[in-house]
Amino acid sequence: EAQQILANTLEDFRQRSFDGLVVGPYQLDPVMGQLGVVYKPRAQLRALAGAEVDRALELEVEVEWSFRSRDYRLRAGTALWRVQQ
């Protein structure tokens, strides 16, 4: 489930208009999974090293959850580029 939430969040940001993206943290709504597990996704947008902030951003997404008294975290990232028409 966490992997699907991570993939869906990455895709959600890829589908957004580049002009609507703002550098900074994004606190996203928790997702209730099977067995009552609550997944807590977060996203962070930063300037991509070596690129102008109005042309490329770095996206990092993290999903945290607890199950059977253990904490888990899954993380992935990608670069988002402005597409010139």
Q: Quick: pLDDT tens for 22-73.
A: 999 998 999 999 889 999 999 999 999 888 878 999 999 999 999 999 999 9
Q: Is the predicted pLDDT of residue 85 greater than 60, yes or no? A: no
Can you tell me the distance from the alpha carbon of 55 to that of 41, in angstroms, rounded to the nearest whole number?
Answer: 25
Return the half-sphere exposure (C-beta side, CA atoms, 13 A cut-off) of residue 61: 23
More confident site: 51 or 14: 14
The SS3 of residue 54 is coil
* Mean of pLDDT values over 10-17: 94
Beta bridge partners of 56: 81
- Is residue 58 within 8 Å of residue 45, measured between CB atoms? yes
